[in-house]
């Protein structure tokens, strides 16, 4: 099986038909997302599902990847915060350097 549709077609239980179509829709939406993290996560989840359906991965391994992806999502949020923190830090250090190298010496000369 090389695609998600084939993998999902293996499930014939009618009670999960809605879940199947919802899952497929969410994967396709994720793959079409402009955010690299979301796109990559959707592509990986699709691949894991195909690997499980082909018998190449166990349930334990699949569960590990899924629970790890939830931690990755936390790190994605942390990395966004980091970018903001880095900007604030750069601004404050640069301001201090400017004060130290340009402003204060001239200020003291002027006094």
Contact 1, 47 (CB under 8 A): no
Q: Which is nearer to other proteins, 10 or 111 (CB)?
A: 111
Residues 61, 54: Cα–Cα separation, whole Å: 14
Q: Which is nearer to other proteins, 5 or 68 (CB)?
A: 68
- Which residue ranges make up the site for other proteins (CB under 8 A)? 37, 40-41, 44, 47-48, 51, 56-58, 60-61, 64-65, 67-69, 71-72, 74-76, 78-79, 81-83, 85-86, 88-89, 92-93, 95-97, 99-101, 104-105, 108-109, 111
Q: For the stretch 13-49, what's the b/e string if a residue is b when 16 or more beta carbons lie within 10 angstroms of its beta carbon?
A: eeeeeeebeebbeebeebbeeeeebbeebbeebbebb
CB 42 → other proteins: shortest distance, Å?
12
Q: Which is nearer to other proteins, 16 or 83 (CB)?
A: 83
Q: Which is nearer to other proteins, 21 or 64 (CB)?
A: 64
CB 52 → other proteins: shortest distance, Å?
9
CB 17 → other proteins: shortest distance, Å?
27
Nearest CA-CA partner of 46 in 24, 61, 64:
24
DSSP secondary structure letter of residue 79: H
């Amino acid at each position: 099986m090389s695609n998600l549709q084939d993998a999902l077609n293996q499930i014939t239980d009618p009670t999960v038909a809605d879940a199947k179509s919802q899952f497929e829709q969410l994967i396709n939406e994720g793959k079409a997302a402009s955010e690299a993290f979301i796109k990559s996560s959707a592509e990986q989840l699709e691949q894991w599902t195909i690997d499980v359906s082909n018998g190449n991965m166990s349930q334990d391994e699949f569960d590990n990847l899924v629970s790890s992806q939830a931690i990755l999502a936390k790190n994605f949020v942390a990395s966004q915060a980091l970018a903001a923190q880095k900007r604030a830090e750069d601004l404050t250090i640069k301001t201090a350097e400017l004060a130290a190298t340009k402003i204060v010496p001239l200020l003291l000369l002027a006094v």
